[in-house]
Amino acid sequence: MAELDQQALHREMTAWRRDLHAHPEFGFEEKRTAAFVAEKLRAFGLEVAEGVGGTGVVGTLKRGSGNRAIALRADMDALRIAEQGTQAWRSQTPGTMHACGHDGHTAMLLGAAKLLACEGGFDGTVRFIFQPAEEWGRGALATLQDGLIERFPFEEIFGLHNMPGLPIGHFETRSGPVMSAEDNFEIVLKGVGGHAARPHSGRETLVAACALVVNLQTIVSRRLSPADIGVVSVTEFITDGTRNALPGLARILGDCRSFRPEVSAAIETEMRRIAEGTAQAYNVAAEVTYTREFVPLINDAALVDEALAAARTVLAGDAVGIAAEPMTASEDFARFLIEVPGCFVFLGNGNSAPLHPPTYDFNDEGLLHGARFHAAVARRRLAVG
Ligand SMILES: [Zn+2]
Ligand SMILES: [Zn+2]
C-alpha cells in the first residue's frame, strides 16, 4: 500500500484541528464536528456510523482475515468558556471554546484513520470511536447504552489526552489508577430565618453551615486511611439571608475525588454522618444529595506495557516513560475500561496554558505524534502474521 507523506499529513491535521477549534460545540451538541468527522472517515474509505449515543461517530476499518478488534477513542466536545486567544483560528462561537484540546484529539484520531487506511500494516478490525460529551462525564455511557460494544465489538481500547507542561513528543502513562473518580454533593440546611437583631427567636442556618464546612475537613484528615488518596472540596456556600435577616436556608455544594469505590463510599457515609450530627447540634435539619459523576480510570497493566512498546516505535525512547503519580482529575474514558481492558496515555502539549483556562490552545506540534501512536498501537495489537 502507498506510504503516506507524513509532513503532508501533519499539515492536513493542523488544518482540521484549527477548523474544529474555530467551531467548538458543547457536549451532545457536536453536530458540525460529528459531520466533519464522518465525512473525513468516509473519504478515507471507512464504514461509518453516526448518531451513536447522541452525537458520537464510530468508524470501522478492516484489513486481512484476523478476527480480533481493538478500539481507538477520541473526544469531540468543547467547554462553555469564553476564549481569550488572539490566534486566527480562535473560537467563532461566543462563550464556547476548545479549552481541553479535544479538537486536537479528534484531529489526531482522524490522522490515524487516514494513516491506517492508506498504509494498512495490521490484520483485524480497528474501531475509531469519536465520543460526545466527555466533559460532562456522560458521553461514554451514552455510547455504551446505545449498544456500542454489541454493535461494534472490540476487545480492548486505547485513548490519549494532551498534557500541558510535558514536552512535545513526550509520552507518559502508568498501570492501575491513573485518574480519579469525581463525586458531587449538595447539603441543604433548613432552619427558621429571622431578624438579625433577634437570633434567639429563630433557628438560623449560617453558623451551622460554617461549622459543617469545617467539620467536613475531617473526612480526609481523620476518617480515610493515610494510604488512600481522597479530596473533599466545598466549592459553593449559598444562603437566603440578607444583611439584616438571618438565613433559614443554607446550601453547601462541592466535589470529591478518589481512586477506589470503597473510598468514595466511605466519603459519602462520613459526609452524611457529619451533616446529620452538625445539623442536630445547631437545631436545624440537613438534606444530603451525593452523586457519582466519573468513575476512576484504571489502566490494564499488560496493555500499559503494550502502549509503552508501541510509543517507543514512534517516539524517542527516552521520551516514553511512566507517570510518577495518579492525577486527581477525572476522565470519561474510564467508563469504557469497566467494559473492556485498555490504556489511557498522556502526550506532551509543551509549554501551553494548562487545561481549561480561556487562554489554552492545543499545540499542533503534537498532532503527528498522536496519530502515529494510535496507528502503532493498532499495528502492534493486530500484528500481521
Ligand atoms: Zn477537560
Ligand atoms: Zn479533556
Q: What is the pLDDT of residues 104-161, one digit of tens each?
A: 999 999 999 999 999 999 999 999 999 999 998 999 999 999 999 999 999 999 999 9
Compute, in angstroms, the gap from residue 79 CA to the centroid of ligand 2.
10
Distance of alpha carbon 255 from alpha carbon 276, whole angstroms:
19
Q: What is the pLDDT of residues 229-279, one digit of tens each?
A: 999 999 999 999 999 999 999 999 999 999 999 999 999 999 999 999 999
pLDDT at 304: 98
Looking up cell 503527528 gives: 368
Q: Which three cell numbers stand for residue 221?
A: 484528615
DSSP state letters, 66-120: ---EEEEEEE--BBS------STT--SSTT-B--SSHHHHHHHHHHHHHHHHHH-
R_g (Cα) of the chain, nearest Å: 24
Of the pLDDT bands very low, low, confident and very high (cuts 50, 70, 90), residue 60 is very high
Compute, in angstroms, the gap from residue 77 CA to the centroid of ligand 1.
9
pLDDT at 317: 87
User: For residue 184, what are the β-bridge partners?
Assistant: 255, 291
Compute, in angstroms, the gap from residue 161 CA to the centroid of ligand 2.
6
Beta pairing, strands 320-322 & 171-173:
parallel
Compute, in angstroms, the gap from residue 269 CA to the centroid of ligand 1.
29
Compute, in angstroms, the gap from residue 382 CA to the centroid of ligand 1.
30
Give the mean pLDDT of 337-344.
98
Give the mean pLDDT of 4-32.
97
Q: Which three cell numbers stand for residue 19?
A: 477548523
Percentage of the residues of the chain whose pLDDT score is greater than 70: 100
DSSP letter at 354 equals P
Q: Using CB atoms within 10 A of its CB, is residue 303 exposed (0-12), middle (13-18) or buried (19+)?
A: buried
Compute, in angstroms, the gap from residue 183 CA to the centroid of ligand 1.
16
User: For residue 157, what are the β-bridge partners?
Assistant: 71, 342
- Checking if the pLDDT of 2 tops 90, the result is no
Compute, in angstroms, the gap from residue 329 CA to the centroid of ligand 2.
10
Q: What is the pLDDT of residues 282-294, one digit of tens each?
A: 999 999 999 999 9
- Checking if the pLDDT of 328 tops 90, the result is no
Residues in the 5 Å CB sphere of ion ligand 2: 100
Compute, in angstroms, the gap from residue 318 CA to the centroid of ligand 2.
25
Of the pLDDT bands very low, low, confident and very high (cuts 50, 70, 90), residue 1 is low
